[in-house]
Amino acid sequence: MGIEELVAKIQQGDSEAFGRVYDMFAQRIFRYVRLKISSREEAEDILQEVFVRAFGSIGTLDPKKMNFSAWLYRVASNTINDFYRKKYRTPEIVDIEAGMQIAGNSSPERDTETRLSMETVNKAIKLLPVQYRQVLELRFAQEFSVAETAKILGKTGLAVRLIQHRALKKLENIIANLYD
């Protein structure tokens, strides 16, 4: 059964159809949310909020006129934005021991090297414009095709390829400057 049929059943009140849609998209949406939210628990809460919002507004959706996946990613993006708006208005209490790690089986040198590499890439990505970050996240972290990324962002495939090219060039320059 295709997504259009499932959406039609949900609009008629079939909660089992919504469960099937959840099963189809939850893992991908969670990965998308997790890229933007560092806490797994907060990301799980946001995932649930995404599907609550989607369920609440799916009645007005016409799946024949809109790409359902793109719509759901927009709901996720808006939910993440709302989360950050709320978070920045509320002070956060930080546990001093939260940053400490318990020794593992891997070598300290390898752990440090991996952590430094990841920190460098994360720093560099945060310095990119939002549009560049979105394209890179959808293309490489979520593994969407150019066409799927274009639908999600409401752009043409050519625009996505151009943004991706510029984003990778800028990322390369940022990383090079971090090591200078």
pLDDT for 180: 63
Same domain, 77 and 37: yes
pLDDT for 35: 85
Q: Three-state DSSP class for 105?
A: coil
**Domain limits for position 115:** 107-180
Domain-embedded: residue 101: no
Domain-embedded: residue 121: yes
Domain-embedded: residue 102: no
Residue-wise burial string across 120-140, b where 16 or more C-beta atoms lie within 10 A, e elsewhere: eeeebbebbeeebbbbbbbbe
pLDDT for 63: 67
Tokens of 24: 């189809």
pLDDT for 10: 86
Same domain, 87 and 5: yes
Same domain, 140 and 59: no
Same domain, 85 and 160: no
Helical H runs in the chain?
3-11, 15-36, 40-57, 68-89, 108-126, 130-136, 146-153, 157-179
If one counts the domains in the chain, the total is 2
pLDDT for 107: 63
- Under the banding of pLDDT at 50, 70 and 90, the label for residue 108 is low
Same domain, 175 and 148: yes
Same domain, 111 and 82: no
List the CATH number of the domain containing 163. Answer: 1.10.10.10
Domain-embedded: residue 156: yes
Mean pLDDT of 90-104: 51
- From CA 53, how far away is CA 105, in angstroms rounded? 42
List the CATH number of the domain containing 51. Answer: 1.10.1740.10
- State pLDDT tens for residues 15-41: 888 899 999 999 999 999 988 888 889
Mean pLDDT of 140-168: 87
- Under the banding of pLDDT at 50, 70 and 90, the label for residue 112 is low
Long-range CB contacts for residues 165-171, cutoff 8 Å, separation at least 24: 166/132, 167/128, 167/132, 167/133, 167/135, 167/136, 168/136, 170/128, 170/132, 171/124, 171/125, 171/128, 171/132, 171/136
Domain-embedded: residue 99: no
Domain-embedded: residue 11: yes
Degrees (nearest 5) of the Cα angle 78, 83, 86?
125
- Under the banding of pLDDT at 50, 70 and 90, the label for residue 92 is low
Place of tokens 């997504």: 3
Same domain, 122 and 59: no
- State pLDDT tens for residues 48-80: 999 999 988 888 887 677 788 888 998 998 998
Domain boundary among 33, 63, 91: 91
Domain boundary among 91, 123, 140: 91
Same domain, 62 and 121: no
Chain mean pLDDT for the chain: 81
Domain-embedded: residue 97: no
Same domain, 55 and 136: no
Query: 71 or 123, which is more confident?
Result: 71
- Which of 79-93, 98-112, 125-139 has the highest mean predicted lDDT (pLDDT)? 125-139
Domain boundary among 57, 91, 125: 91
